[in-house]
Amino acid sequence: MLKLLGLALLAAALVLGAKCMTIRKNLVTERQTIGAEWEQVNTALEARVAIVPDLMQTVGGELHGAASAESAMAAVNAARDSLHAATGRHEKIRANARLEETLSLLMLKVEEYPKLESSKKYAVLLESLKGADYQIAVARRKYNEAVEHYNARLELFPNNIVSSVSRLGKIDAYFQTAAP
């Protein structure tokens, strides 16, 4: 009888151990998915950053000498440089918000120059910028969904115990857009 009880406890421990290993494996896989989704975000951010120098050249050629436009262009270049130099997720998210803000201010300045707005090269660059913004939005949505799903799974029992023992904590780097 004692031997049977020992075997039952051993079997229960093995099943519990296998369940915990499966939970940990799934959580690690989700973290890897979040990493892959972040790389998509990062690629989209870099694609937009690559458009900015051409935009600055086009705008700068037309607005040369306009003090307010030159200060807006300098702000865009500084924001672009800070995004390019950013390393962590939080840092990139903040730098991206700054770049979005400075690009918006520059676009407001460009509206004061109808000749530039009607330029074909400017129109092509603006469309490229809109396409890059769309790619960022798609990648951001997928990344945030992956983070949200992972964080929600951490709240469930027994995932919360396994994640605590495995030191797999919440990810708090949601990628929010700047308020309009």
pLDDT given for residue 64 in this prediction: 66
pLDDT given for residue 179 in this prediction: 47
Is 33 a member of any domain? yes
Q: DSSP per residue over 141-167, as a string?
A: HHHHHHHHHHHHHHHSTTHHHHHHHHT
Query: Is residue 82 within 8 Å of residue 52, measured between CB atoms?
Result: no
pLDDT given for residue 46 in this prediction: 94
CA dist 88 → 2, 20, 96, 151 (Å) = 56, 31, 12, 19
Is 22 a member of any domain? no
What distance in Å separates the CA atoms of residue 100 and residue 137, rounded to the nearest whole number? 12
What CATH number does residue 129 fall under? 1.20.1440.20
pLDDT tens for each residue of 41-85: 999 999 999 999 998 888 887 766 677 778 888 999 999 999 989
Is 37 a member of any domain? yes
Is 69 a member of any domain? yes
Is 130 a member of any domain? yes
pLDDT tens for each residue of 85-129: 999 899 999 999 999 999 999 888 888 877 877 788 888 999 999
Q: Which residue range is the domain that position 93 belongs to?
A: 29-166
Domain count, the chain: 1
Is 90 a member of any domain? yes
Average pLDDT value for the chain: 88
Look up the pTM and report it: 0.84
Is 24 a member of any domain? no
